[in-house]
Structure 1
């Protein structure tokens, strides 16, 4: 009898092992916000870029040292006059609907980014005149003028390829059923709840895809995100609180992955779209006074335990394009008061401050509110849901918009789209012809010395006009369970899923 029981138990164990071997692996990723639209032409959120990295490959990618490396393209060559870029595509690539990624499809994707109504990629590809098909796997981007940042743009959303068949069928609803050429295919999205993706069997690099399903879960509260990671409800979370670093590092079941972020957090000032014509929009002296009222290092210590880097430009002090001639100025409340007096404004200066929901965002706003009050400002903090904040920003419904930019590998990607007249993310409507010309000139040369000299002139103008008050540069803080193997954090903040394994 005992022998029979042993045989049965052994068979049951074998069945369990077989079931475990066949069971699907699911990677659950906790996001700090719910992305906007899952259309690479129309998206403008950082969390959107994280989700895209799971299903929308780009022509090129970057490595840990910010070198450009092949992805959907194998190579590129720039003409001697800098006015054309020829790109060789990877053979055998398919979109998730089975359609081939060939030169015609690549041409369609780039032209869609350039021309689709509401596309946020237009300014990134503004110097592209047209796209030519050279042969079935080669395209040529013909430029209006030389354009130094072009290859950097093609490592992000401007380089993402979408299925022409799906894009034509869905039109402006493509973001509801996106089809790209990445490792995972879209399954479903429930707003404010989850986004589900399944492994794409015909992915060009399928031998390096080891996880069957990815589920993105927007969880705004970072404490809840971390609790879910600790309990096993999540496998990876982005944007760990700086104050939780010690807690994560002391947990034997967790790993903290970090990298310096390429972007910044800044206060976008509504200069030309402010319907109330408040003092902040009408006077550079008032904006300069607000800047001088802020102690960036104290802000860093109070909110982030000193983990971030105080800054005053669109690139960090460690960046090769940072302008050392314009260092971060110390707080000077008396100078701020004097500037407000010179501007002749009534005190206190009341300002609407729009802040995306989240404990760190709100803590930053509260510290700035307290500091600015000593100089004569009354900042009215208005906390708003993240995606809604972008709609209000585009509509001009703010005076200050506290917003983070995740950053790009080329300094143009941190400046042009926010500061150039008419640029798609210039929410405050800033316009300075001299600044516009300098941004355009910086795009014309690839020589770092010449470009840095142009950016020095631009920095002088922007720090005087203050359309954006730059505050600090974050450290990317990603935590994951030790069961997840192969994870490396890149400075662009994306969560790359190819090569990951779940034990």
Structure 2
């Protein structure tokens, strides 16, 4: 499951710990401009086919251009494909590729190379891209720079896949040479080429002079440092060891803003947190909470999302009750985010014929999730719910969810540019993260119909019906959308905050 790493509350550092926490500098070539970036975690394999973590995508943003990119507001824009068009029946997508693109091994990029990558993504046994490319049944080379994708069924979300890891292009020569081990030393068509990796310490990439958009790249080297503790990331930013850090903790924002040598960048995220109920997966679904949507609706009425935002996130996140951020294109305005109404919650419980409702809320074993759980626990008690908190390690939590061993679980989605990718994972009967086994034929029909349309004007009414339905059935209680928070050195210029949370290197400049 692709998750956003949790933000950690700051801890006090002794002078000795602070000194030890500073990352050592890497000596660059004389006169080279080096950008040091602190990441919230250590990326997985640097192979788009095998990547499953959000943090990987920040490194890929420097290494691997995609067929399609997204702008700051998640609109599709050209990258390795300069334009594209759908057939009238929405089952053929034709891509027109950029001329003069080279991979970092010097070989040329063309439609044949794109076909090698797409066929690998959709057929490789260990590929995590197979599900998102399930509708793709044939990849055809029409001309050297024209590619035709034939689909078994209309699938507008294909564009979102091509704007993420399914659209990242590796050198076919490197694929042939290294096979599944290519993630150890990837060769892509992006602005920076892989140089070295030391596990848990650093990933180093150097500027690729043959990049098709070389004029947009002024930094010579980037060193990515995985630092899970947000306080340590900030310490290194303050000291000048790092020039950009991602996922600043909300509790550290005031400190960044007060430091004249630092700047804060922010953007409302596509990523969100949701509380998923077990409604049909094994014995733990056989409760009033699992069986009766009125009980789940009552629980939602017990929750004050803005209070969670203020208490846990210093008011910096975005209270939300839908999979799209408020005021986004596919947001349904008929369901505004309201406050808590314990009296209305108790009325619903009486209508459902239940008294107090006990259940266990599964959380990650992080300080932030512990705080969220305590706030929810306190709110729900007044409305008639007795919530027991169970904090578990993330992998163990996933195993419990997959086995149906949960009443309710707080989960995260990093967000995508297409609304279907933010919905079907939970609400489709066979959704990959539909751990609670929610299944409504009307929901299936709406998702299928909307998936087959490319025109947003025709999709919006369908997705508003989708929101109506999941707000009535309440298999989830969506709590908030993240706000991406980056810390920047005063030396950094040209940084553009994006809704997808990625640090794009094109246009970045580093003053002496």
Sort the TM-score into its range (normalised by shorter chain).
0.7 to 0.9
Q: Is the 8 A contact 1:373 1:379 kept in 2?
A: no
Point out the more displaced range, 464-473 or 485-494: 464-473
Partner SS for 1:319: coil
Residues 1:309 and 2:318 aligned together: yes
Residues 1:196 and 2:201 aligned together: no
Partner SS for 2:270: coil
Point out the more displaced range, 392-401 or 368-377: 392-401
Segments of structure 2 that go 5 or more residues without pairing to the other structure are: 1-26
Q: Distance in 2 between matches of 1:377 and 1:56?
A: 49
How far the C-alpha of 1:155 sits from its partner, in A, is: 1.8
Matched with 1:237 is 245
Point out the more displaced range, 314-323 or 24-33: 24-33
Quick one: which of 485, 490, 495 aligns to 1:477? 485
Q: How many residues are matched? A: 483
How far the C-alpha of 1:474 sits from its partner, in A, is: 2.1
Matched with 2:188 is 180
Partner SS for 2:204: strand
Quick one: which of 282, 293, 298 aligns to 1:289? 298
Point out the more displaced range, 391-400 or 26-35: 391-400
How far the C-alpha of 1:220 sits from its partner, in A, is: 2.4
TM-score, length-scaled by structure 1? 0.86
Q: Distance in 1 between matches of 2:179 and 2:425?
A: 25
Matched with 1:381 is 390
Matched with 2:274 is 266
Matched with 1:132 is 140
Post-superposition Cα deviations, 1:124-163, rounded to whole Å, max 9, x if no partner, equal 3333331111112211112233333333332222211123
Cα separation, partners in 2 of 1:238 and 1:466, compared to 1, 3 Å? same
Q: Distance in 1 between matches of 2:403 and 2:207?
A: 38
Q: Distance in 1 between matches of 2:196 and 2:432?
A: 29
Residues 1:450 and 2:458 aligned together: yes
Q: Distance in 2 between matches of 1:164 and 1:406?
A: 29
Post-superposition Cα deviations, 1:230-278, rounded to whole Å, max 9, x if no partner, equal 1112111112222332321221111111222123221233445567446
Matched with 1:257 is 265
Partner SS for 1:298: helix
Cα separation, partners in 2 of 1:465 and 1:33, compared to 1, 3 Å? farther
Q: Is the 8 A contact 1:278 1:351 kept in 2?
A: no
Residues 1:158 and 2:166 aligned together: yes
Point out the more displaced range, 420-429 or 258-267: 420-429
Residues 1:39 and 2:64 aligned together: no
How far the C-alpha of 1:442 sits from its partner, in A, is: 0.5
Q: How is 1:390-405 mapped onto 2 (pairs within 5 angstroms)?
A: 398-405=406-413
Matched with 2:6 is none
Q: Is the 8 A contact 1:337 1:376 kept in 2?
A: no
Q: Distance in 2 between matches of 1:315 and 1:179?
A: 34
Q: Distance in 1 between matches of 2:110 and 2:488?
A: 37
How far the C-alpha of 1:379 sits from its partner, in A, is: 2.9
Cα separation, partners in 2 of 1:132 and 1:431, compared to 1, 3 Å? same
TM-score, length-scaled by structure 2? 0.85
Q: Distance in 1 between matches of 2:387 and 2:468?
A: 28
Matched with 1:9 is none
Q: Distance in 2 between matches of 1:324 and 1:476?
A: 24
Point out the more displaced range, 415-424 or 395-404: 395-404
Q: Which has the larger radius of gyration?
A: 1
